[in-house]
């Protein structure tokens, strides 16, 4: 997927990174190189997760900050992030990385409400 070979329909080139601390995996993130109609409404450019036992220690904020440094290398002016409105941890992570709320829409994947944020690079 990183090289963009043999991508299935509705998939775009995507890089995956793993967050290591003290030789342990603490989280992962994915950076999509561009948006398509579906990811404009949900999923956006960047997704991330921190292992449950390591949450609320700053790693979520750190992994998005590090992902943004990688996104800058893709020559993007800004990146779209989406989250469920009840995902307070993810909302804080986005806000702490400069995210600006755009709007609320319905996910084409789940049918649920999604909040969209932009982060300028």
Count, in order, helices (H) and strands (E) of the chain: 3, 6
What's the number of CA atoms in the CB half-sphere (13 Å) around residue 67?
33
Q: Minimal distance in Å, beta carbon 38 to ligand COA?
A: 15
Residue 118 touching ligand COA (CB under 6 A): no
**Binding residues for ligand COA restricted to 11-40, rule: CB under 6 A:** none
Q: Which is nearer to ligand COA, 58 or 85 (CB)?
A: 58
d(CA 26, CA 80): 23
Least distance to ligand COA, CB of residue 6, Å: 25
Q: Scan residues 41-100 and list those touching ligand COA (CB under 6 A).
A: 47-50, 55-61, 83, 87-90, 92-93, 96
Using CA atoms, how far apart are residues 45 and 111, in angstroms rounded to an integer? 19
Contacts of 119 (CB under 8 A, 6+ apart): 68, 78, 79, 81, 94, 97, 98, 99, 100
Q: How far is the CB of 90 from ligand COA (least distance, A)?
A: 4
Per CB under 6 A, residues contacting ligand COA are 47-50, 55-61, 83, 87-90, 92-93, 96
């Amino acid at each position: 997927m990183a090289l963009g070979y043999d991508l299935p329909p509705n998939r775009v080139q995507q890089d995956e990174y793993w967050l290591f601390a003290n030789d342990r995996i603490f989280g992962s993130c994915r950076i999509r190189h561009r948006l398509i109609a579906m990811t404009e409404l949900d999923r956006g450019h960047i997704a991330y997760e921190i292992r449950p036992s390591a949450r609320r220690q700053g790693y979520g904020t750190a992994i998005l900050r590090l992902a943004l440094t990688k996104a800058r290398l893709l020559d993007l002016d800004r990146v779209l992030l989406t989250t469920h409105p009840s995902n307070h941890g993810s909302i804080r992570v986005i806000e702490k990385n400069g995210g600006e709320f755009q709007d609320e829409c319905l996910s084409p994947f789940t049918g649920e409400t999604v909040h969209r944020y932009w982060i300028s690079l």
